[in-house]
């Protein structure tokens, strides 16, 4: 199953690969070069297919828990001052996605979208300390009656040049459902209440829509 954001790119890549293979077969007579080029084209197609994959996840809905919004590795767990929406201290948990991770963004909690904003910006590497404030990004806040408000931020990186955010203010959200996509690697930050219990550790790998990041 592939994400809808990749359908056009997958089709274009498939046509390009097929035409290129036909041209290689027709015009290149050197066997080793022909095989090398065809293998390279096949690898390109496989990379594009794996990047836009959208596997089903077994999300167990729980209003007392915050689930990982994306696949990747936990790279930040710290108390910070969140100044865009809350203007108060929060616990930040950041998940870094490599190019080989699934890049679907999923809602970390069920509830209502009370804030959604896109910010143009730079393309610093995703682990840069200023990436959360200076890179292209989207900020979304979801609120439910049990957990309160949770902010998540999609952040572009040096390779990620296209952030897709489906969340709109007043939308009803379902925990673990599709809320967007980041093309070609980056990270997502979560900002949680100070009294939340963090259930992950630094460098731990998590799965979007399944791994528990925090709970009340």
Residues marked as catalytic: 186
- 3-state percent breakdown (helix, strand, coil) of the chain, nearest 5: 25, 40, 40
Q: ∠ at Cα 154 (194, 162), nearest 5°?
A: 175
Do 143 and 79 meet the contact criterion of CB atoms below 8 Å apart?
no
Do 45 and 187 meet the contact criterion of CB atoms below 8 Å apart?
no
Nearest to 190 by CA among 146, 147, 159: 147
The three-class DSSP label of residue 36 is: helix
Residue 193: is it exposed, middle or buried by C-beta count within 10 angstroms (0-12/13-18/19+)?
A: middle
Nearest to 93 by CA among 214, 215, 216: 214
- Report residue 166 as tokens: 């489906």
């Amino acid at each position: 199953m592939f994400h809808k954001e990749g359908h056009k790119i997958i089709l274009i890549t498939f046509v390009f690969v097929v035409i290129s293979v036909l041209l290689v077969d027709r015009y290149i007579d050197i066997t080793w070069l022909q095989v090398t080029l065809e293998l390279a084209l096949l690898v390109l197609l496989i990379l594009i297919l794996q990047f836009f994959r959208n596997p089903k996840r077994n999300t167990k809905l729980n209003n007392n828990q915050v689930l990982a919004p994306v696949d990747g590795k936990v790279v930040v767990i710290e108390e910070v001052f969140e100044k865009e929406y809350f203007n108060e201290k929060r616990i930040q948990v950041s998940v870094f996605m490599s190019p080989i991770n699934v890049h679907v963004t999923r809602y970390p909690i069920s509830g209502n979208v009370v804030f959604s904003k896109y910010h143009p910006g730079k393309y610093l590497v995703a682990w840069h300390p200023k990436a959360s404030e200076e890179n292209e990004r989207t900020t979304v806040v979801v609120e439910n009656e049990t957990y309160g408000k949770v902010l998540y931020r999609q952040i572009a990186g040096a390779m990620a040049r296209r952030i897709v955010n489906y969340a709109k203010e007043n939308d009803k959200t379902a925990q673990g459902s599709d809320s967007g996509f980041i093309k070609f690697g980056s990270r997502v930050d979560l900002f949680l209440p100070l009294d939340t219990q963090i259930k992950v550790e630094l460098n731990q790998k998590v799965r979007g829509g399944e791994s528990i990041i925090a709970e009340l």
